[in-house]
Amino acid sequence: MKLTSAEIKDLAEMAGFTVDSQDCEMDQEFIIQECSPGGIEDENGVMRRYAHIAWSQEYPEEGAMPLGVEIVSTEREHEASEDCWCSPELNYVDPDNGNKVFVHRQAQ
């Protein structure tokens, strides 16, 4: 879908936002589309999934911006680390060698 700044302003106002469009080019076009199943890469190189992404038709080299909140699927793979995205809970520490067992959480 292609929307101009003017159309995005109208949509934002319909949603209850107050928009100051004084310094905007109202004919600038933005592309909005469904995010690919693989997601888009964030600033840290991590692939993240969103319902939709958007980018400027005039400046596509600036990249896409995710819209809304990240979609966390129950199918997302866990990392074998206490630093996993799900913030696993420490369940057990072996008293002999100090090895830790973490229980991963399911996405809500």
- Backbone phi, then psi, for 8, in 5-degree steps? -65, -40
Share of the chain above pLDDT 90, in %: 49
Q: What is the pLDDT of residues 8-61, one digit of tens each?
A: 999 999 999 999 988 889 999 999 999 988 889 888 888 888 999 999 999 988
Helix (H) or strand (E) holding 29: strand 29-34
Task: Give this prediction's pTM.
Answer: 0.62
